[in-house]
């Protein structure tokens, strides 16, 4: 299972206007009441995004019925309309007293939309990519408006819109943040401008850096390295140093190598086998970066 901080945007299988809860790697334990267990357990009947394979599947018994968890997710909708995205394994962890939840999520379970209600069934009926995973019409309209603005390529119009509404910088779209949308649309001037704004990068798990590297937007990637954008080293595929070496984008790779020692890891999985940074650089046939790394190692 991938790990995400609570209350960051959902990016596990797609971009969604929902906040993560239940994906933390090492959560704090906490005991909840039986009443809360009953409210949370009701979502076992309403899971979504099922997968056929799971690394941490198990069986759970709730009100006499048996459920297999580890294969799906569920959504909780608060009374204020906030959507929370959770792996179904969270229910087992809460029942076992292994996960302390954000207070806003507890409130959403206690007083939000009833999962057995008609309203919730209608929400699940709209849980499709075409309807931005159940987002309401206002959210979809706002998203399409900013998409049209970015697709126009008019940087001055974008600047004016951001000046008028700074909340755009915190908006989740079906392509991630508005910066990520600009990157994916190939609008480097817009992306460079947005990278210099007050985007809450942690909320979007720092994906903008990876997308800028993949898109070959060197100026944007270097600008992002000047910010506090978070970086992930869980897997090679999300490690920006390894990705910059593969691209190649050596100006970014060199800066990351010199400033982020936590990214220089050895990975061992079914896709890459046992692979350290030097081996990866050799596989990428990045001779310039290979020589740079070896020269740096020789200094110590």
CA distance 243 to 221: 12
Average pLDDT value for the chain: 95
Q: What pLDDT is attached to residue 214? A: 98
Q: What pLDDT is attached to residue 54? A: 65
The tens digit of pLDDT for each residue in 167-193 reads: 999 999 999 999 999 999 999 999 999
Q: What pLDDT is attached to residue 275? A: 93
pTM of the model as a whole: 0.92
Does residue 39 surpass a pLDDT of 80?
A: yes
CA distance 238 to 216: 16
Q: What pLDDT is attached to residue 270? A: 79
Residues 6+ apart with CB under 8 A from 206: 229, 230, 231, 232
Q: Which of 243, 167, 172, 171 is nearest to 212 (CA)?
A: 243
Look at the alpha carbons of 259, 262, 267, 271 in this order and tell me if their dihedral is positive or negative.
Answer: negative
Orientation of helix 188-195 relative to helix 207-214, angle to 10°: 150
Q: Quick one: 118 exposed, middle or buried, by C-beta within 10 A (0-12, 13-18, 19+)?
A: exposed
The tens digit of pLDDT for each residue in 108-156 reads: 999 999 999 999 999 999 999 999 999 999 999 999 999 999 999 999 9
Confidence of residue 209 (pLDDT cuts 50, 70, 90): very high
Q: What pLDDT is attached to residue 55? A: 67
Mean pLDDT in residue range 204-225:
98
Does residue 56 surpass a pLDDT of 80?
A: no
Q: What pLDDT is attached to residue 2? A: 82
In the chain, where do the E strands start and end? 9-10, 16-20, 58-62, 65-69, 73-77, 83-87, 267-269, 273-275
At 230, give phi and psi (nearest 5°).
-70, 150
Q: Which of 207, 137, 200 is nearest to 168 (CA)?
A: 200
The DSSP line for 123-152 is HHHT-SGGGTTT--HHHHHHHHHHHHHHHH
The tens digit of pLDDT for each residue in 242-257 reads: 999 999 999 999 999 9
Q: What pLDDT is attached to residue 116? A: 96
Does residue 300 surpass a pLDDT of 80?
A: no
**What share of the chain has pLDDT > 90, as a percent?**
92
Worst-scoring range by mean pLDDT, 52-66, 141-155, 276-290?
52-66
């Amino acid at each position: 299972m991938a790990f995400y901080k609570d209350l960051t945007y959902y990016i596990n299988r797609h971009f969604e206007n929902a906040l993560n809860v239940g994906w933390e790697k090492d959560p704090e334990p906490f005991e909840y009441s039986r009443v809360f267990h009953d409210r949370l357990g009701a979502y076992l009947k309403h899971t979504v995004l099922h997968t056929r394979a799971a690394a941490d599947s198990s069986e759970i018994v709730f009100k006499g019925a048996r459920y297999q968890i580890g294969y799906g997710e569920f959504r909780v909708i608060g009374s204020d309309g906030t959507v929370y995205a959770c792996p179904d394994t969270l229910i087992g962890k809460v029942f076992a007293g292994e996960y302390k939840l954000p207070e806003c999520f507890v409130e959403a379970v206690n007083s939000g939309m009833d999962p057995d209600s008609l309203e919730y069934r209608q929400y699940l009926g709209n849980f499709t990519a075409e309807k931005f995973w159940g987002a309401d019409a206002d959210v979809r309209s706002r998203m399409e408006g900013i998409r049209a603005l970015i697709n126009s390529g008019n940087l001055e119009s974008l600047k004016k819109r951001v000046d008028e509404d700074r909340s755009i910088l915190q908006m989740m779209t079906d392509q991630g943040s508005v910066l990520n949308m600009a990157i994916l649309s190939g609008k480097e001037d817009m992306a460079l401008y947005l990278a210099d704004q007050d985007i809450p990068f942690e909320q979007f798990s720092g994906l903008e850096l990876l997308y800028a590297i993949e898109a070959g937007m060197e100026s944007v990637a270097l600008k992002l390295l000047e910010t506090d954008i978070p970086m992930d080293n869980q897997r090679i595929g999300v490690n920006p140093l390894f990705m910059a070496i593969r691209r190649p984008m050596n100006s970014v790779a060199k800066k990351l190598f010199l400033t982020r020692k936590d990214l220089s890891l050895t990975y061992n999985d079914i896709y890459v086998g046992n692979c350290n940074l030097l081996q990866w650089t050799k596989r990428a046939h990045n001779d310039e970066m290979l020589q740079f790394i070896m020269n740096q190692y020789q200094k110590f």
